Amino acid sequence: MTMGLLKLFRLPLAVMNGVAAVGGYLLFPAPADLKSAAAVLLGVSLLAAAASALNQVLERDLDALMSRTGNRPLPRGDLAPATAVAIGVALLLVGASVLAFSGGVAPVVLGSGTVAWYLGVYTPLKRRTPFALLLGALCGSAAPFIGWSVAGGALYDFRVVLLAGVIYLWQVPHFWLLRRRFTDDYRLAGFPVFEPPGEGCGLAPVCRLWIGAMLAGTLMLPAFGIVDLNPLLCFIAFFTAILLTSFRRFEPAVFAALNLFPLVVTIALCLG
């Protein structure tokens, strides 16, 4: 049952959202409070877990068609949809309460609005177009705004906008690489799959463009004095080496390196 709940929450992805939110909190130019940072991590992770649980209720029939998701608790029949809804709503309320106690109304509105966007816009739209990802990625890029608002920052500040933009650019190739590994699964379930135009044109060149934009945006963080340059340079050198050695096709190492990106940026914010 424990493993089933972890799959329901998609815990690594939920924590990754929490880490991105902590990055937004640490970005604010004021001494960081450990309790507030922990509250941001917990609150946003709980909201992301709630969104995952409710999303799996909506997509349980489609999940049953794919090998990647067929072992989740709802398609397997290990958990009733009503129970999953109750768990999701409970996580949503607890996560919103944690953010309310630590940062007031603004982070609650941002967090709840992000969950609503994910479930009400992205989830139904991705059955119709592969470009729904461009709207769904707004959910992940909202995480830094939530942390920033807990710290008391204005949402139009260029520093948090830049960080959120980099996180947005990161999500698109990250998801495309994941979907590429399970193309047959997605097609079997009826999800439209992005096919770059042009004969013989694969997904790798398009992903490289997005990754190049992501790395360029990342270099703007130290250029504006937002983070320390050294840890980011190490990551960029490491990532560039992986891209060069995987020129003809994207190896799993590229996907693994992308997974490290939010953590590297958060570490850079801690050091800077």
152 — pLDDT class (breaks 50, 70, 90):
very high
| Contact by Cβ (8 Å): 27, 269 | yes
What mean pLDDT, rounded, does the chain reach? Answer: 84
How confident is the model at residue 60, as a pLDDT?
A: 92
Domain count of the chain? 1
CATH assignment at residue 76: 1.10.357.140
Residue 198, pLDDT above cutoff 60: no
Q: What is the pLDDT of residues 1-39, one digit of tens each?
A: 677 788 899 998 899 899 999 989 998 988 888 999 999
- CB burial of residue 248 (10 Å; 0-12, 13-18, 19+): exposed
Q: What is the pLDDT of residues 83-117, one digit of tens each?
A: 999 999 999 999 999 999 999 999 999 999 999 99
189 — pLDDT class (breaks 50, 70, 90):
confident
How many C-beta neighbours within 10 Å does residue 237 have? 10
pTM of the full structure: 0.87
Q: What is the pLDDT of residues 243-259, one digit of tens each?
A: 555 545 555 666 666 76
Query: CA-CA distances (angstroms) from residue 234 to 208, 216, 231, 248, 265?
Result: 19, 14, 5, 24, 11
CB neighbour list of residue 132: distance below 8 Å, 6 or more residues apart: 122, 125, 126
Tokens of 45: 């992770």
Domain assignment of residue 65, given as a range: 2-271
Coil, strand or helix: which one is 201? coil
How confident is the model at residue 136, as a pLDDT?
A: 92
Give the residue among 91, 71, 69, 76 at the shortest CA–CA distance from 9: 91
